[in-house]
Structure 1
Amino acid sequence: MKEITHYYFAYGSNMNLAQIKQRCLSPKVLGIACLPGYKVEFYGYSGIWDGAQETVIPDRQSEVWGVLYELQFFDCESLDEYHDVRIDGTGPYFHYPVEVINREQGTIEAMIYKKNILQAAKPPSMEYLNFIVQGAKEQGLPEAYIKLLQTEKTTPASYTVPIVQKSKLSYMNVTCDACDQ
């Protein structure tokens, strides 16, 4: 039986390999990619990071860089649970189909997580933006894009962040690195 895989474009904190490996059993990095016609904005509030969280909004003059992952079905379910995606669309995030361009200029259909309710844009915590930038650097995103991310207005978190959320994998106390041994 052939396993079903999905392409997931991460443009925020899931660019960090350590984080995605905590949330997924077998994420496969396909490389960096670009989502043209969008920009990153921050909305809502995350108690985990004490500030707003990222999403993309249409902007013809902009582009969003991120990481393209190939995920197994069970990895998608795990990410859905973490992002509180609900079948009826009432969760804070939902699946959104996009076309991203990889380094070889190939167009690939992928899925992103997009915020459901936007209201007014708000700043993320400085710690959260630094975590996103760390992932962008780790994955080799273009320097000009990283500098653009670093210009986002932030506020310092008022308590120690991130607050660690329990996941399906936390009871095993392992990450994917342990699975390779």
Structure 2
Amino acid sequence: MTGTEDKAVNGDIFYYFAYGSNMLDERMKLMNKTAKYFGNGEVLGYKLAFYDHSDTWHGATASIEENPDSIIYGCIYSVSREEEAILDQQEKGYHRITIPVRNIKTKQVLYCRSYQISNPNKKENLPSSAYKIVFTTGAIMHKLPEKYLEYLLDIKDNGELDKINIPLKCLIDIQLP
């Protein structure tokens, strides 16, 4: 554990920055019961990218990558340290990082844990329509900045709406049997 990583911990909780499917509270709380939405955040010097193919999501999954000219937005959660291993398991195929995140409302900078895809040979790919619906629904529900919402909605997807084995209300009516 590095000194930077410790900065995400505050007593019995840690702060977590979600930029993909975990922006949807329902998704975040499926396995992380103690997660509490803390606010919206922005991270300077990172961009959103989609890589590889997830059997769970039927397309690429999101990651954040360093890019000095970019800003990424997402949701800050506080999570009990008792659930660290659960979140790490949920994010298998990713490695934990700690990044400074500025709370959009308060302007306070918090160190948050987040995750980056671990595959050193990762290939850019399109997310599924179902995955895109989940992360855009979370972004809309939390009222991320309008221009960023437009950016998310404009992301090309692979058209896949096959059954995702994660029970989320936003997918019930649109999934193919």
Q: Same fold (TM over 0.5)?
A: yes
Q: Does 1:26 align with 2:34?
A: yes
1:150 to 144, 148, 153: 153
Aligned-partner SS, 1:29: strand
Match of 2:132 in 1: 129
Shift of 1:3: 5.4
Shift of 1:74: 2.0
Paired with 1:54 and 1:161, the residues of 2 have a C-alpha distance of 19
Aligned-partner SS, 1:162: coil
Match of 1:114 in 2: 116
Paired with 2:11 and 2:40, the residues of 1 have a C-alpha distance of 23
Paired with 1:28 and 1:164, the residues of 2 have a C-alpha distance of 20
Shift of 1:58: 1.2
**Gapped runs of 5+ residues in structure 1?**
85-91, 166-181
The within-5 A match list for 1:9-20 is 9-20=17-28
Aligned-partner SS, 2:126: coil
Match of 2:82 in 1: 74
Match of 1:96 in 2: 97
Runs of 4+ in 1 over 6 A off after TM superposition: none
Q: Does 1:57 align with 2:27?
A: no
- TM-score normalised by the chain length of structure 1: 0.81
Contact 1:47–1:163 under 8 Å retained in 2: no
Match of 2:7 in 1: none
Paired with 2:45 and 2:124, the residues of 1 have a C-alpha distance of 19
Shift of 1:164: 3.0
**Gapped runs of 5+ residues in structure 2?**
1-9, 168-177
Shift of 1:126: 1.5
Identity %: 26
**What whole-Å deviation, never above 9, does each CA across 1:141-174 have from its counterpart, x for those lacking one?**
11110111112121111x6231238xxxxxxxxx
1:138 to 138, 141, 157: 141
Number of matched pairs: 156
Paired with 2:162 and 2:90, the residues of 1 have a C-alpha distance of 20
Contact 1:3–1:72 under 8 Å retained in 2: no
Q: CA RMSD in A?
A: 1.7
- TM-score normalised by the chain length of structure 2: 0.83
Q: Which amino acid aligns with 1:148?
A: Y
Aligned-partner SS, 1:131: helix
